[in-house]
Structure 1
Amino acid sequence: MALRRSKRRATPVEGVEGDPGWAVELRGVRRQYGKGGAAVHALRGIDLRLPRGSFTAVMGPSGSGKSTFLQCAAGLDRPTDGSVRLGGTEITGMSENKLTELRRARLGFVFQAFNLLPSLTVEQNVVLPMRLAGRRPDHRRAEELLGQVGLAGKGRRRPGELSGGQQQRVAIARALVTRPDVVFADEPTGALDTTTAAEVLALLRNAVDGLGATVVMVTHDPGAAAYADQVLFLADGGIVDALTGATAGQIASRMTALTARPAAYAGMAA
């Protein structure tokens, strides 16, 4: 399948003020768990800007900091040091209430486990972020999105009546319903078969190219990462490499090199 990729890509931070043209900005972000000799340095100083309308995949060996990176970037975890901006808004010092409001109104999330509420209909699941944000549910918007993800006419069904791939499509529609600044996806195809995974990834790709969404996806699958504009590689808590417009084979080769020579890459991350 030929993929149309945005030409936008991540750039290093150069000390400029927050710009709403950037979807995500991380400056000197460090995350440490514990203290003293038992301290774990999950992130060791991440400097990064991601433009609006881009698709970024994040990869790395187990323990490289991928999940912590996603959680800090999405405001689900607070960095020990550094700052995070989403859509030009500084979120690092926000109160938990304000941060919750921002996540509900301006961010979308897609997880491996779907996280749909089984007691709600498909349409009710899709408009749930609007309700949580204190907005009137836009049923026309929900119907439009369900049509775009191939679920037209299924709004009154329950999640349990759908296949795994269909449930993930509902999760994508839910993530897009508020027109968020960024959609964060954590292993969104991990529970799907190869064919269904490709369909879901094509939907995320279309959300970027057709709807102007910004997607940041953590994945272990080079095939999934190949749908992105750029792949960032983490090792030992730092971004150590990047590929733009790469094939699955090129991404797999880079991951193999990273896994085989972690010490060399760790030196780059320090």
Structure 2
Amino acid sequence: MATTGTSAVELRSLTRTYGRGEAAVHALRGIDLALPRGSFTAVMGPSGSGKSTFLQCAAGLDRPTGGEVLLGGEPITHLNENKLTKLRRSRVGFVFQSFNLLPSLTVQQNVLLPLRLAGASPDRRRAQALLADVGLDGHGRRRPGQLSGGQQQRVAIARALITRPEVIFADEPTGALDTGTARDILDLLRRAVDTMSATVVMVTHDPVAASRADRVLFLADGLLAGELHTPTPTAVADRMVTLTARGGTSLGAAA
């Protein structure tokens, strides 16, 4: 675990290029960034801005073409696949738009899965406590198919927290939810930062969702194009309109 004061995530001159020659796509063009521990960061940008690639590289799901990613001060870019997999299972949590729960497992088994994959003993008491924290006390024996979309996303958040990860990466976590349920999910992520000292990095297209973060980072054409601290929905939306107008891309499109 990183020491206090160390950035949760640091990107140094990060680049990611797909393809070669004239057909090459430069998804990231040299990102330098440090995300503090215990912070909530939202990442936004027009279609093709590089935000999904940003998340995948920062989380160790994709290898950058150049530069370096540090997790808790430790370089992870050149780790082999086995070590990267072990790191993701023990030190990183994930929340996806599509929930990614295993339908054959119970809710509690889904929450405990990261511990099992990491070779750790299943901490059922912690799983029960986390389910209670996300408003699903008594739902541990149910299957995901018996839950609403919002409830499944609550399970995904409990699963992301079970290993006490250094960073939680959330990819459009409210994209498939109605407004009220989305608000509840954002409340849970906000509370994880404020009461559990979690670090959350969230890609979103929604200015309201982004406004729940401490800071919003804007990407355009693979470059950092600015940031907002203590953001409001209106300020975020205005910045997105400006970026979209410059880039000629449609506001709110997926990366």
TM-score tier, shorter chain, comes to: over 0.9
Measured in 1, the distance between the counterparts of 2:223 and 2:122 equals: 40
Give per-residue Cα distances to partners, 1:149-171, cap 9 Å, x unaligned.
00001101100110000000000
Distance, in Å, in 2 between the alignment partners of 1:191 and 1:182 is 22
Aligned counterpart in structure 2 of residue 219 of structure 1, from 204, 212, 215: 204
The aligned runs of 1:1-270 (5 Å cut-off) are 21-262=6-247
Percent of paired sites with the same residue: 72
Distance (whole Å) between structure 1 residues aligned to residue 199 and residue 46 of structure 2: 24
1:112-153 deviations in whole A, cap 9, x for unaligned?
A: 000000000000000100000000010011001001000001
Cα distance in 2 for residues equivalent to 1:59 and 1:39? 23
Residue 22 of structure 1 aligns to a residue in which SS? coil
Whole-angstrom CA distance in 2 between matches of 1:19 and 1:91: 19
SS in 1 for 2:126: helix
Kept after mapping to 2: 8 A contact 1:56/1:232 = yes
Residue 20 of structure 1: how far off its partner (Å): 6.6
> TM-score scaled to structure 2, two decimals?
0.95
RMSD: 1.2
The equivalent of 2:253 in structure 1 is none
CA distance in 1, matches of 2:83, 2:229: 35
Q: Secondary structure at the match of 2:8?
A: strand
Q: Which runs of 5+ in 1 are unaligned?
A: 1-17, 264-270
Q: Which amino acid aligns with 1:85?
A: L
Deviation at 1:89, TM superposition (A): 1.3
Aligned CA distance change for structure 1 residues 82 and 105 (closer, same or farther; 3 Å): same
- Name the CA distance, whole Å, in 2 between partners of 1:82 and 1:233: 20
Tell me, which stretches of 5 or more residues in structure 2 are unaligned? 249-255
Which portions of structure 1, spanning 4 or more consecutive aligned residues, are displaced by more than 2 angstroms? none
Q: TM-score, normalised by structure 1?
A: 0.90
Paired with 2:14 and 2:6, the residues of 1 have a C-alpha distance of 20
Deviation at 1:19, TM superposition (A): 8.6
Query: Offset at 1:262?
Result: 2.7
Mapped to 1, the partners of 2:121 and 2:4 lie a distance apart of 30
1:88 CA drift (Å): 1.3
Secondary structure of the structure 2 residue equivalent to 1:61? coil
In structure 1, C-alpha distance between the alignment counterparts of 2:90 and 2:127, rounded to whole Å: 15
Is contact 1:106–1:179 with CA below 8 Å preserved after alignment?
yes
Q: Tell me, in whole angstroms, the C-alpha distance in 2 between the residues paired with 1:61 and 1:32.
A: 18
Output the CA distance in 2 between the equivalents of 1:236 and 1:165.
Answer: 33
> Could you say what secondary structure the match of 1:261 adopts?
helix
Shift of 1:246: 1.1
CA distance in 1, matches of 2:56, 2:63: 8
Rounded Cα–Cα distance in structure 2 between residues aligned with 1:201 and 1:149: 11
How far 1:42 sits from its partner (Å)?
A: 0.3
